[in-house]
């Protein structure tokens, strides 16, 4: 987008190309519409607040116009006003995402971070690091997994995961007769992404793990987690 303020008291002027654009008393749909700017009328853009723009007409009337309606204007050279924004379509076409989460792992408090790269709309790969804080031990986990998202266009979009990693267990007390150990793991999971707004989404997930130990029996455990992610 061109600079809104070009110098002291010099602002970008645009011309309305739609039949009219609505001007609200504040930056949001909940604020009432007090006036409109009609086709061919020029307005000055004074400031931007997220997806809302404060404009002033030639008659000195001020109001807030939504990003969607500001796209129905053109600059002095006759070109449509270009405005950067993020939508659910951008979420579907994202390349990278990062996030953090909290949850439960067999009664222990789970905290973690993750990052992911999308090969296409349906398939991505992720790396994650988690820490589970229990009463008698702490677990540190590093995972690599593939994620399949069959319905990327849905606002509430389910996904499935398959992967592996390592888990390191460190006992907290000398009363516990156990040593630090590191085991390999495999997991399967299912989850749900919910697009929120702009670059942010909510993510909930369940995973079932198998830890391949040096003892006779392998260990199995579950994770439940929910977190906030952002994409670009």
Return the domain boundaries, the chain.
5-85, 90-231
Average pLDDT over residues 75-82: 89
Q: Measuring CA to CA, which residue among 199, 191, 116 is closest to residue 156? A: 191
pLDDT at 157: 95
Topology of domain 5-85, CATH: SH3 type barrels. (2.30.30)
Segment 128-145 shows an average pLDDT of: 93
Quote the pLDDT of residue 51: 83
| Residue 8 pLDDT exceeds 50 | no
pLDDT recorded at residue 111 = 97
Task: Map tokens 């266009």 to a residue.
Answer: 153
Q: How far apart are the C-alpha atoms of 11 and 44, rounded to whole Å? A: 6
**3-class DSSP state of 91:** helix
Q: What is the pLDDT of residue 177?
A: 61
Q: Is the pLDDT of residue 17 over 80?
A: yes
> What CATH code would you report for 90-231?
2.40.160.20
Name the nearest CA neighbour of 80 among 67, 95, 70: 70
CB 72 within 8 A of CB 58: no
pTM: 0.66
Q: What is the mean pLDDT of residues 73-102?
A: 86
Question: What percentage of the chain reaches a pLDDT higher than 90?
Answer: 67
Please compute, for residue 49, the number of CA atoms within 13 A of its CA located in the half-sphere on the CB side.
9
């Amino acid at each position: 987008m061109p600079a809104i303020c070009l110098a002291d008291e010099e602002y970008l002027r645009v011309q309305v190309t739609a039949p009219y654009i609505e001007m609200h008393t504040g930056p949001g749909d909940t604020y009432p519409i007090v006036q409109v700017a009609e086709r061919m009328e020029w307005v000055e853009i004074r400031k931007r607040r997220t997806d809302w723009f404060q404009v002033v007409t030639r008659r000195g009337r001020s109001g807030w116009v939504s990003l969607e309606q500001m796209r129905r204007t053109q600059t002095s050279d006759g070109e449509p006003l270009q405005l950067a924004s993020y939508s659910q379509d951008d979420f579907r076409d994202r390349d990278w995402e990062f996030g953090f989460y909290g949850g439960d792992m067999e009664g222990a408090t789970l905290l973690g971070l993750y990052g992911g790269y999308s090969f296409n709309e349906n398939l991505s790969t992720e790396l994650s690091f988690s820490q589970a804080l229990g009463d008698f031990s702490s677990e540190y986990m590093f995972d690599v997994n593939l994620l399949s998202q069959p319905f990327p266009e849905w606002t509430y979009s389910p996904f499935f995961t398959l992967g592996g990693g390592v888990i390191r267990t460190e006992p907290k007390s000398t009363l516990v007769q156990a040593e630090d150990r590191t085991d390999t793991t495999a997991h399967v999971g299912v989850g749900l992404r919910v697009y929120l707004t702009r670059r942010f989404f909510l993510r909930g997930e369940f995973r079932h793990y198998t830890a391949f130990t040096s003892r006779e029996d392998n260990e199995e455990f579950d994770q439940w987690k929910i977190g906030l992610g952002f994409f670009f």
